[in-house]
Structure 1
């Protein structure tokens, strides 16, 4: 051994051909060649989930009621030669959902992965909240999860396989001022997914939840204004009983998407009825 070589106790870091350190990542299996239905795929977390699963080799059925936004998102992924097909549908319409799921199975194959990422947010104090805001939030965030899960589960059960993930929110477990409708709807979707997981466990179908905190998405920008100030979210607001983010940063959609990808992979094969908080510690969740 020469004096310039590291000792056996000090292994060299992996290097690429350009001599930069190579990122070591767990390789996820069980996603490649599977058909994955992702709702809310036109933007934000849903769009990033579609990208992440497609990069992992899934054949993605990207669904959203925003036809124009969905076409743009799908075109971007298609330009990267990723296997994604767009399907315009409103998850709040049970008949449209049934038609969507049947169309995906007919055109792309049996759905083995479902990600419920469609969601809407209306903020405001309860005393001032109009009926339509409450109804709209629940029609997508709770009813929509039920409709899509029911349609997909009916097809997964005879096949005795599948993985379902519902994107909820840390607001489902922590009260938030001016977010009652959103928090309540996400709590409903989370508890629904747990109950579904219990019912489907006998068939080998896993159902889990991912609960993001403040994530830099169009939904957050619509709530806070286009110029999102990460410092305010990170610091929290004692006046609003809102804890800050211990990791001192906003989540990016990719942070949430990678958590979803893990939960639908073989590496999470013994995980079901679990709620994974991806919020930088903001909920102080145990």
Structure 2
């Protein structure tokens, strides 16, 4: 079944690797043109080379810079056409227990994971609303819905991004713009691997799947860690016409890990 994305233009942040790169590939496979953005050039330039410059345009972008976001949105609509889809994937993780969490790590986490979502979503909504159509998808985390030891800043920033996206969705629904979130659980990305013990990747992955009673963490009922493509498929669905009557929804893609707490 067609996703109805042929020829549409999508902006993806954090596109250089992991979930962001998988989202770019999935959108291209559904016929979309993609503006792939990241703070570093290597990953997005590789995507442009892989898929072709007519399908993927690579641009540097720091989502914490509001002026840069607005400038890129203007340039995009001037040179590539109207923006149909915006996907917020850019995110950072700086694990720490709260009593040792620094002000800088707290601020940096919110600057990217929450304020960056605000900057990009606001820029997209401003332009989409006037045209009476559009879809904004924010990649959050299942950590936004269940307490996690050592991840307070990350979980709080993702929870803020989820509620922001829902509020935006309420405001722009009357303009034909849909806003949804996808909340992954543990996914095979560099961010996930950074939490694992060096040299013990297999054992670390097993602990994630089995859970850890000592840290009050459930395992993954489906018995596997997600691939970035699993998350990308959910993003593409919510961005597409197949989800035309879905807005303000938070779709968990975590193999049942949170028991939907």
Q: TM-score over 0.5 for the alignment?
A: yes
Q: How far apart, in 1, do the equivalents of 2:197 and 2:188 lie?
A: 12
After TM superposition, give the deviation of residue 218 of structure 1 in Å: 1.0
| SS, match of residue 72 in structure 2 | helix
Residue aligning to 2:195: 223
2:226 corresponds to which of 233, 251, 261: 251
Q: Which has the larger radius of gyration?
A: 1
Deviates more, 1:252-261 or 1:217-226: 217-226
After TM superposition, give the deviation of residue 104 of structure 1 in Å: 1.5
| SS, match of residue 61 in structure 1 | strand
Alignment of structure 1 residues 115-126 onto 2, 5 Å = 115-126=87-98
| SS, match of residue 251 in structure 1 | coil
Q: How far apart, in 2, do the equivalents of 1:200 and 1:263 lie?
A: 16
| SS, match of residue 210 in structure 1 | strand
| Unpaired stretches in structure 2, ≥5 consecutive residues | none
Runs of 4+ in 1 over 3 A off after TM superposition: none
Change (3 A) 1:82 1:283: farther
Q: How far apart, in 2, do the equivalents of 1:109 and 1:120 lie?
A: 30
Q: Is the 8 A contact 1:54 1:82 kept in 2?
A: no
CA RMSD in angstroms comes to 1.3
Is 2:145 the counterpart of 1:170?
no
Q: Is the 8 A contact 1:37 1:115 kept in 2?
A: yes
Q: How far apart, in 1, do the equivalents of 2:192 and 2:54 lie?
A: 27
| SS, match of residue 195 in structure 2 | helix
Q: Is the 8 A contact 1:28 1:262 kept in 2?
A: no
Q: Is the 8 A contact 1:125 1:179 kept in 2?
A: yes
Q: How far apart, in 2, do the equivalents of 1:50 and 1:168 lie?
A: 17
2:116 corresponds to which of 125, 144, 154: 144
User: Structure 1 length normalisation: TM-score?
Assistant: 0.87
User: Structure 2 length normalisation: TM-score?
Assistant: 0.96
Offset from partner CA, 1:120-155 (integer Å, 9 cap, x none): 000011111111111111000000000001111110
Q: Is the 8 A contact 1:59 1:108 kept in 2?
A: no
Aligned length: 258
| Unpaired stretches in structure 1, ≥5 consecutive residues | 1-26
